Copies of this chain bind each other. A is one copy, B any other.
Amino acid sequence: MEKTNVIAHFMGFPGKLKDKVMEIVKKTMKIGKDDPRKIWHAAKVGLALTLVSLFYYFRPLYDGFGQSAIWAVLTVVVVFEFTAGATLSKCLNRGFATLLAGALGIGAKYFADLFGKEGEPIVLGFLIFTLGAVGTFTRFFPHMKRKYDYGILIFVLTFSLVTVSGYRVDEILELAHQRLTTILVGAATCMIISLVVCPVWAGEDLHKLVCGNLDKLATFLEGFGSEYFSFSEIEESGKASKEDKGFLQAYKIVLNSKATEETLANFAWWEPGHGSFRLRHPWKQYLKIGVLARECACHLQALTSYFNSNPQAPTEFHKRIEEACTRMSMESSKALKQLASSIKTMTQPPSSAAETHLKNSKTAIDDFKAILATTKTPLLSNKLDLLEIFPAITVASILIDVINCVERISEAVEELSVKAHFKKVKNKESSPSPEKQPQQQLLHRGIVKPVVDDVEGGDDSVVIEICGGTVAAAVEVNSPGGTKGEAQKDRV
């Protein structure tokens, strides 16, 4: 019996192995599909390694560098990172640290020579201890850690290697020269391949991440606005909420994006100008927007617990606030979408675009408050059950917080657009009339220059440039027109 089990186990082994392999293949396919740049990155590292190993196989190169050519291989493996910024940061850190530490190390050797055969190890030991300890401690300074962590590591490493190696000083000079040259060759190979072959820009990733996050918040608010207060279509919404659960989860990614954003911003600092990003693009401003986006996501998390709390039989009060609350949610969503597309396309939209939506949402707040204020009239008070309207009031209150947050995001995006010199989109009127709207709702990729009907306003042209690839998406310009009209009617 037991024997059969063992045999069955061994017979089953190829099957299990096959399953395991299939699982790994599936995972690989998924990673490759989600971000094909990862496959490219792997191929780039392989290429860089193979190129550097040519130093050995082509005799002339080998004769020039000798055994120290392995440092080029070592450099490639250690230094090549996914994003161009990270690779540059490591290459430059490694290069300069090696140069500096090598020079210091040779100096230390000269200095220790003065103390004779007996004294030399003691002096060198003391120097290594001091530099090792001081260097390690320096890595705890937040500013140093952020930018020069790897450089300090290499500094301590090279200094120790140079002082420890038992060579005489003239041999050291030769060795240091060889080592530095090979490291430069390795680093240069990495930098060139990283910058030329399908470069992955940390800055672009940060840019996409931040506007993607704003989009996620907008999608949540849109979904929430159309679901929570829609008492009229309550049967359908029950269905829809199950299908659309995705938008309920997306904000969680926003909540957890802090570490990624900061890493990307650090690497982006090292990158040269590329695409529409200049050398000193205000990456820090993206972090500010990120902080506010996370704050907003916090409020959204509070909203989720109310998602299924709307009463089956809405009271008169619910019906009264429904319109205002839906408008609060929808208008803040539109404002966020507008802001996201403004970052995405790197254009300053007509000054009113996001602001109009924000104004509309504020009007909705005023309307809501007006409803609250009138609800104390004797007419309603008899029917008013505080316990029943309690969740709806809370939702409205959280929405007000969300709108405040969106307003601060809008200010931060405005600041970014100034600092990063976003292209200005001119238009004569601060808000377009509702009739013009159909021409101005553009759903295009690429550069769009709509011909406006009333030609006498030469300033009225709208220029939209959408970055290629995944950034491109539907862009709404001046869409608020219609909604704003409504909001103003309500106000009157």
State the A residues within 8 Å of B (CB). Answer: 27-28, 31, 38-39, 41-43, 45-50, 53-54, 56-57, 62, 67, 69-70, 73-74, 77-78, 80, 121, 124-125, 128-134, 136-137, 140-141, 153, 156-157, 160-161, 163-166, 255-256, 258-259, 294-295, 298-299, 301-302, 305, 369, 372-373, 375-376, 378, 381-382, 384-387, 390-391, 393-394, 397-398, 401, 404
Contact = CB atoms under 8 A, between A and B. Distances in A.
A41 B157 CA distance: 17
Complex A-B, nearest 8 residue pairs according to Cβ-Cβ distance, in ascending order: A46-B133, A394-B397, A42-B137, A381-B381, A57-B121, A259-B259, A46-B129, A46-B132
Contacts of A161: 70, 73-74
Given A74-B157, A160-B49, A160-B77, A397 B391 contact: yes
Contacts of A49: 128-129, 132, 156, 160
Interface centre among A166, A255, A401 (most CB of B within 10 A): A166
Total copies of the chain: 2
B386 A373 contact: yes
A42 B136 contact: yes
Given A77-B157, A128-B50, A305 B404 contact: yes
15 contacts: A42-B134, A45-B132, A46-B130, A49-B132, A50-B129, A54-B125, A56-B164, A56-B165, A67-B165, A70-B164, A73-B164, A373-B385, A373-B387, A393-B393, A394-B398
Contacts of A129: 46-47, 49-50
Contact of A394 (B43, B298, B394, B404): B394
Contacts of A302: 298-299, 302, 398, 401
A307 to B, nearest CB: 13
A113 to B, nearest CB: 14
A125 B47 CA distance: 10
A166 B163 CA distance: 27
B404 A390 contact: no
Contacts of A124: 53, 57
Interface centre among A49, A70, A369 (most CB of B within 10 A): A49
Contacts of A137: 28, 31, 38-39, 41-42
Nearest to A317: B386
Interface centre among A38, A53, A131 (most CB of B within 10 A): A53
A426 to B, nearest CB: 37
Contacts of A381: 376, 378, 381-382, 384
